[in-house]
Chain A
Amino acid sequence: MVAVCSVALTGQQLFPDLKGYKVVSDYPVYTPDDLWDYINGAADAYLALGFIDLNISEYVKGREVIKAEIYRFDDDAEAFGIYSMERSPGYSFIPVGVQGYREEGILHFYKDRYYIKIMTHSKSRKAGGRMEELARLIDGRIEGSNKFPELLNLFPTQGRLANEETYLLESVLGHEYLRNAFRASYEVGEERFDIYLFRCNDGDEAAAMASKLAGDSFMPGDEVFKYAFEDGFNGVLHMARQDDRLIVVSGLGFDKTTLAESYITQMLGR
């Protein structure tokens, strides 16, 4: 009996052949130390989301060049974070990887801990089709999760704005002590608000963040602690902490506490 061992492809191995195109891979592998050299100040957002490295290949056929960039992150939430940060809800989405979209000259998608950007200056319709073909081939070479992060399922669907969800690793709501949060945006009647769900390792971490937000009012002994207050910069926030779950609603005034609580209750109950 022969044991078959599957080895995940990494780095340049993730670039497939594309029929009729010559693959040129003479770019360096960019790391956090030199990503700025490649994408300038945009690098800051990548570095803040656990960027590990970037591999680049070009597919050349005559004067047509398709460039593919594969950004690797520490985990899938971070890859989702950068993908979703650069995603606009009005884009034309396509089923590649977990999700992707194609606009003129670009195709972006993400899967597992990879964010893939494919681009061309060619205006031909064929080149667009080739970008999609290349995307599917790269998709097929990436092993791992092909689903959105699990915690996104905890957000209620009513009033939730499609394709507005994101993930923030640092300085959530502008506070350095708030980290690791998924955010979804809502529109209910005339109210527009955001809900943050923090990805905490345990109850202590959730309590520590809740305590800093709520100050002396925080009751660590409460099984469910709920609090509404005016944050000096973000306006009114509604927060709730239960075990390792910390939820903050931003954008609803004190007179909308009932609405905030209804969403929080749904999320705590899931």
Chain B
Amino acid sequence: MKRRNFLISGLAGAAGLAVLDRTALAGGINSDNEPIIYRTLGKTGLKVPVISFGVMRSDNSALVKAGYDAGITLFDTAHGYMNGRNEEMLGNFFSSLPRDSYILATKVKPAGIDSRTGLPSRDTTAADFLAKFDLSLQRLKMDYVDILYMHGVDSVEMVRHKEIVNTMLELKKSGRVRFIGISTHKNEPLVINTMAADGIWDVVLTSYNFKQTYLTEMNSALKVAGEAGIGVVAMKTMAGGWLDKEKTRAVNPQAALKWVLSNPDVHTTIPGITAFDQLTTDLEVMKDINLTVSEKDELLAGISSQGLYCNACSICKSDCRNNLPIPELMRAYMYAYGYGNLRMASELISETAVMSDPCAGCDTCVATCIKGFDLREKISDVSRLANVPLDLFA
């Protein structure tokens, strides 16, 4: 057998990014010496680059180091990410660095919030919230966090939940939290407007992207937030990552980020970063936020695509003469055409006991879809799987 001894090389990896220290990396990526664009995060007074780091699902501290070295200052995690291991990884990484060289934001979700209504319950208590926050600090190996968000809020009742809000204010007063905020990705305009009206909040972390169907309300709410001095951090900026329902055309990440940052009421963004190439791409936006004409065109093409997701409102079901389980069939369609998983689609159709082309007996379809799906065409299309034995998909 031919053996090859280890070849020792001082060469950088295939990517050719031989950058190890903070200055060198920033210089390597920002080789044209363009300055990083900073914005002030509302009344917090924190000056942050327009690109921050959504740590979310990265367990690679080398990636965080690369972002830190390149000039990113705000790192965003949450108590619940990776069941706490995300905070642990950041705690280990930051433990040897000057505390004023980075801004750490984490989120704690109060217990007992009904995910369907966004409303609190008797399990939504200060004690639970505090216990989670204490654990987060312990994992992060820090005496304080810069920003603490109440995580995943989508109702006025939670924005104004006295027990939790008072707890957050107490944490701020005690110095264990510098600034308090709310993260929201549902009913965002309502949440943001309520925050602005209440006057106690420093930062909002909100979904914001070019595909949102309620941009007029979003832009208005962000303006109100700005006027109230609330720092605005944008998330979900990639709008799910795809322009088309077939998932063949990915969102141009730079265009999507630039679009978000074209709104001066947004101060920074937290794209979820999991790869060095992605980091490099995002960092380029840190010094150039001007959308080109071609980038605008790409985004416009994305806005016109309809998507495959049925939100199961079930309005269509009451109209259907054959009482078909339309939401399930739409889900099967999504499995087949969105995920390319015919077996899942077939299994679901099998569970519904729908036969092939169940609409054949109707001259016209009176069922309507609020998303504008052509129900008859999709049902006719996907129900053909009812004739295909499951074994064929094994």
Contact = CB atoms under 8 A, between A and B. Distances in A.
A174 B83 contact: no
Contacts of B111: 121
A224 B2 contact: yes
Interface stretch (B52-60, B214-222, B315-323, B353-361): B52-60
A235 interface: yes
Interface in B1-42: 1-20
B134 to A, nearest CB: 14
A66 B71 CA distance: 45
Interface in B55-85: 56-60, 62-63, 65-66, 78, 80-85
A174 B17 contact: no
Given A40-B151, A174-B63, A260-B6, 17 more contacts: A28-B116, A33-B308, A40-B80, A40-B107, A41-B235, A42-B56, A85-B82, A88-B83, A108-B83, A174-B66, A174-B275, A175-B275, A217-B9, A229-B8, A229-B12, A232-B18, A232-B276
A217 B7 contact: yes
A216 to B, nearest CB: 9
B11 A215 contact: yes
A252 to B, nearest CB: 11
A224 B1 CA distance: 8
Given A40-B109, A174-B274, A227 B84 contact: no
A40 B149 CA distance: 13
Given A37-B115, A37-B186, A38-B115, A45 B276 contact: no
Contact of B85 (A11, A38, A85): A85
Contacts of A170: 274-275
Q: Which bracket fits the contact residues of A? A: 35 or more
A158 interface: no
Contact of B15 (A26, A38, A40, A175): A175
B226 interface: no
B274 A228 contact: no
Q: Which bracket fits the contact residues of B? A: 35 or more
B4 A230 contact: no
Q: How would you classify the secondary structure of chain B's contact residues: helix, strand, loop or mixed?
A: loop
A62 B276 CA distance: 51
Given A42-B78, A232-B16, A121 B123 contact: yes
B185 interface: yes
A174 B60 contact: yes
A150 interface: no
A33 B309 contact: yes
Contact of B6 (A87, A176, A223, A227): A227
Contacts of B183: 40-41
B192 interface: no
**Among all A-B residue pairs, the 5 with the closest Cβ atoms:** A86-B83, A45-B57, A232-B17, A231-B13, A33-B309
A94 B376 CA distance: 50
A196 B44 CA distance: 42
Nearest to A27: B116
Contact of B8 (A29, A215, A254): A254
Given A48-B57, A85-B59, A228 B8 contact: yes
Interface of B: 1-20, 54, 56-60, 62-63, 65-66, 78, 80-85, 107, 109, 111-112, 115-116, 123, 128, 151-152, 183, 185-186, 235-236, 240, 272, 274-279, 308-309, 311-312, 331, 334, 339, 341, 344, 347, 351
Nearest to B109: A40
B4 A224 contact: yes
Nearest to B128: A121
Contact of B62 (A42, A217, A233): A233
Contacts of B2: 222-224
A29 B327 CA distance: 11
A61 B10 CA distance: 65
Interface in A210-241: 212-215, 217, 219, 222-235, 237-238
B186 to A, nearest CB: 6
Contacts of A238: 6
A90 to B, nearest CB: 11
A3 interface: no
Of the listed residues B6, B58, B59, B115, the one surrounded by the most CB atoms of chain A closer than 10 A to its CB is B6
B192 to A, nearest CB: 17
A246 to B, nearest CB: 14
A267 interface: no
B12 A230 contact: yes
Contacts of B339: 32, 52
Contacts of A2: none
23 contacts: A11-B351, A31-B334, A33-B309, A41-B107, A42-B56, A42-B78, A87-B83, A121-B123, A174-B66, A215-B11, A217-B7, A225-B4, A227-B9, A228-B6, A229-B7, A232-B13, A232-B17, A232-B19, A232-B276, A233-B13, A233-B65, A233-B66, A234-B62
A32 B11 CA distance: 40
A133 B65 CA distance: 44
A86 B19 CA distance: 31
A121 B128 CA distance: 10
A261 interface: yes
Given A27-B116, A36-B185, A39-B80, A257 B16 contact: no
A171 interface: yes
